[in-house]
Structure 1
Amino acid sequence: MMRSDSSKHSSSSEPEGAEVVYLKDNVTIHPTQFASERISGRLKLIKQGASLFMTWIPYKGQATNARLSEKDRSLYTIRAVPFTDVRSIRRHTPTLGWQYIIVVLSSGLAFPPFYFYNGGVKEFLATMKQHVFIVRSLEDANVFVVNDFQNPVQFDKLTLVWGKARQPPLGSEEWATFLDSEGRVMDSKALRKRIFYGGVEHVFRREVWALLLGYHAYDSTYAERECLRYHKKLEYETIKRKWQQGISPEQAKIFPNFREMKGLIDKDVVRTDRSLSFYDGDDNPNLNVLCDILSTYCFYNFDLGYCQGMSDLLSPILFVMEDESESFWCFVALMKRLGPNFNRDQSGMRSQLFALSKLVELLDSPLHNYFKQNDCLNYFFCFRWILIQFKREFEYEKLMRLWEVLWTHYLSEHMHLYACVAILKRYHNEIMGEQMDFDTLLKFINELSGHIDLDAVLRDAEALCIFAGENGAASIPPGTPPSLPVENENSLLYSQVSTR
């Protein structure tokens, strides 16, 4: 507990069960513009149960300017303000002068500045952080946004804006500002940030997704991208012909399960997104294309082959790209990130579920402890979310926006895990209040499909990622999928094209 630097001023006794976790004397306000007219008092942070309160009581009988009456002191007295009513704390540490803070309430009102003539602002914020959920604003490093201690991410009950507000999708005029005259993206980080906060209008998805997935390099020109499409189309058709013409005995030895996997592909494709007009109806040619791409990938990547769920990941890509070769190579790029999800030993999924458990332990320890007590610590109820990146949880348009946000890798390449935490936290009270066991929890999670607020999840996930910071990154073991490619594999081809 923080100790006062002065004990000559008495304070009222605390309520039963309350604990003073911070105490600072000589914290002062200035009710007027006159420096001589000030009121000093004692600032406390008091924890009672799971709640944190702030009090500031002016000293009695203090010799001050006659213009300040006892009524003035009573007017500014803060008896007990719960931090659930606090929106933010603004810290001011001028080079010359005294440090002070401004406490802004959820209503928009603010208390007068509190001046710390004997220091203590850093300790005040450090103590507060131990007991309430606070996150530094992205817009101003001296602003600390406050949330409720008991259920830190109940954003629907608050009017706070965490970090940067969501924006409309990236449109044509703005998209053009990111490109130079030859089509190069001039600032890939700025582009990824913009997409992270708003997504992309559908008409540009074909071009943008190829960049986000790493199929095209951000610094490639229009001409280089067009040339790449041409060469990659030839390469794709060569691979496709190999399996269409029949597998040789030598190939059969390398990949004895190809025919079995081809049969699995045929069964899965006819069940994939048939409610969507793009795949609806009998003899739909897009289903044949979907089947051919997966079969070609199966032949292209002997080691991984085909696993159930891959058709779910390819379907939106084909819907956006509307080109067989382009879809194939974008799918190849995606599988370089998500391929470990389909490892037969489930190592890729287990590493992500382990990382998720560590993040929940960090960001919602009561819920993590509940899972631990109820044999749910393997987090397998989140398996589908991670395996196919929430494919079955959102309608198509929202899913596409979610995927392009995740693919930016703007704040973290593991934003999908923070999205998992955000959803679990939103249903924290229901899960614990209804005492769900594993089977009930799995049923509950599956039935959330189509009922999850995407904007809220993205906002919450961003806040959680920022709040977790280095501790969150340290909770995710190195190599946990998806991981960013070190270099675009088509860079060599681009360089060859440019020298022709």
Structure 2
Amino acid sequence: MDKQNGTQQTENKQSEFDRSTAKERIDRIDPYGFERSEDFDYDSHEEFMSVYLAILTRRSIKWSKLLKGNNKVVKNIKVKRYVRKGIPNEHRSLIWMAASGAQAQLEQNPGYYRKLLEGERDPRLEDAIKTDMHRTFPDNVHFRKNAEPCLQQTLFNVLLAYGHHNTNVGYCQGMNFIVGYLILITKDEEKSFWLLDALLGRILPDYYSPAMLGLKSDQEVLGELVKLKVPAVAELMETHNVMWTLVVSRWFICLFIDILPVETVLRVWDCLFYEGSKIIFRVALTLIKHNQAYIQQATNFPDICDKFKEIIRGELVEDCHTFMKKIFTVPGSLSMATITRLREACQANVIAQGL
């Protein structure tokens, strides 16, 4: 009898250990499939989520009432306000598609995506994309070869179709991460393709063409905006001869993927799809202006670079809801007219300097 009890206790402990281990494994994976880092602060995350989940529940109820089962979204002040306060994950795909014009393109071009995949393939394009497959989110369980389903093939298809659709761009590193996020949200190849088309074709001006003229220009535009909004930081950069591209190029080319926490990136993208590329400047200016005093402690070139690596971490960016409020207040007014004017001047400068 004692032996049976002992065996039962051992089995119970083993079962408890298995449950604990399974929970630990689940806790290490975020809702989007990304493994959390070794130094992930579970306590502060739990504290934040205890508040944020209530916000998400309220937003979900409000969005459901607004949409009323309808997949048509008319842009107006109310919807814009709702987008800024966050789109619940169950509605993200629908709102991104509608707000960006991707849904209209999909409906106007039935069967087009499938034709791109079934047509003649460019072997150089295929090879370039395949090279980056294993480098795309190795820390995400859904993109691993043993995943079921494995999203690598979906990722490959979207990138290949887009490369054939836009031969001027083809494939460029950075696009794989953007498409990866689109797939995680839409769970649909064709929608991800049309959202990529909206981003690269309309929202981001000339970021991924071979010359990357738009990307280079926008980094210069940020520099000009910092001169206006945070002159002390601009002066520091100039004094130590630090080019903006050295500290912010990944912010722009990956749209803050692997820069900011996943949920914060998605909240930024909510506004990016609705309001356009000026959101990138609002995010960048908020990070710089909020951390102005910290950045100004830098005394040399490497120190400045280190400070810019640090300002993308911590409580400010972890609390996505508060951070998103700040991007619409901290930088102050920022009109599209101002950005357009600066883009024209910076683009002419980039071309003249052959950057």
The residue that corresponds to 1:214 in the other structure is: 101
Match of 1:271 in 2: 135
- Go from structure 1 to structure 2 and tell me whether the alpha carbon gap of 1:433 and 1:293 turns closer, same or farther (over 3 Å shift): same
State the secondary structure of the residue aligned to 1:291: helix
TM-score by length of 1: 0.52
Matches within 5 A, 1:107-256: 168-169=55-56, 171-179=59-67, 183-196=71-84, 198-217=85-104, 232=109, 234-243=111-120, 247=121
Higher strand share: 1
Query: Counterpart of 2:216 in structure 1: which amino acid?
Result: R
Q: Distance in 2 between matches of 1:293 and 1:182?
A: 27
8 Å CA contact 1:304, 1:343 repeated in 2 = yes
- 8 Å contact 1:210–1:216 — kept in the other structure? yes
Aligned letter for 2:101? G
Aligned to 1:422: 286
Give the secondary structure class of the aligned counterpart of 2:289: helix
Deviation at 1:201, TM superposition (A): 1.0
The answer to which structure has the higher helix fraction is 2
C-alpha distance in 2 between matches for 1:181 and 1:276? 32
Change (3 A) 1:181 1:375: closer
Query: Tell me, which stretches of 5 or more residues in structure 2 are unaligned?
Result: 1-53, 348-355
One-letter amino acid of the structure 1 residue matched with residue 172 of structure 2: C
Q: Deviation of residue 366 (structure 1)?
A: 1.2
Give the equivalent residue in structure 1 for 2:47.
none
How far apart are 1:471 and its partner, in Å? 8.9
The alignment status of 1:401 with 2:287, answered yes or no, reads no
1:436 Cα deviation after fit:
3.4
Amino acid at match of 2:328: E
CA distance in 2, matches of 1:187, 1:472: 23
For residue 151 of structure 2, give the secondary structure of its aligned residue in structure 1.
helix
Q: Secondary structure at the match of 2:140?
A: coil
CA distance 1:434–1:310, shift in 2 (3 Å):
same
Q: Residue 177 of structure 2 contacts residue 257 of structure 2 at CA under 8 Å; is this kept in 1?
A: yes
Q: Deviations over 1:171-216 (max 9, x none)?
A: 44422443478654355332122111x2111111121111122112
2-structure distance, mates of 1:381, 1:214: 32
What residue number does 1:463 align with? 329
Aligned counterpart, 1:81: none
Residue 465 of structure 1, CA deviation: 4.4
Structure 1: gaps (5+ residues): 1-166, 218-224, 248-257, 482-500
Which secondary structure does the structure 2 equivalent of 1:342 belong to?
A: coil
Mark the CA change 1:467 to 1:238 in structure 2 (over 3 Å): closer, same or farther.
closer
Q: How does 1:337-486 map to 2 (within 5 A)?
A: 337-338=203-204, 340-409=206-275, 413-437=277-301, 439-451=302-314, 453=317, 454-467=320-333, 473=339, 476-477=342-343
SS of corresponding position for 1:463: coil
Q: Per the alignment, do residues 178 and 215 of structure 1 end up closer, same or farther by CA in structure 2, a change over 3 Å counting?
A: same
Deviation at 1:475, TM superposition (A): 6.0
Distance apart, 1:295 and its partner CA: 1.1
Q: Within 2, Cα distance between the matches of 1:379 and 1:235? A: 37
| Matches of 2:216 and 2:342, distance apart in 1 | 12
179, 191, 195: which one pairs with 1:326?
Answer: 191
Provide the aligned C-alpha RMSD in A: 3.0
CA distance in 2, matches of 1:343, 1:216: 24
Which of 1 and 2 has higher RCO (CA within 8 Å, sep 6+)?
Answer: 2
Shift of 1:472: 5.1
CA pair 183-266 structure 1, distance change in 2 beyond 3 A: closer
Counterpart Cα distance in 1 of 2:55 and 2:346: 31
Deviations 1:230-280 (A, max 9, x none): x7562111110113xxx4xxxxxxxxxx43332221121211123223223
Instruction: Answer with 1 or 2: which has the greater Rg.
Output: 1
Q: Distance in 1 between matches of 2:232 and 2:337?
A: 18
- Partner secondary structure for residue 433 of structure 1: coil
Kindly provide the amino acid, as one letter, of the partner of residue 212 in structure 1. A
For residues 391 and 199 of structure 1, do their structure 2 counterparts lie closer, same or farther at Cα, with a shift above 3 Å needed? same
Q: 1:211-232 CA deviation, whole Å, 9 max, x = no partner? A: 1221125xxxxxxx9xx55x75
Quick one: which amino acid aligns to residue 242 of structure 2? C
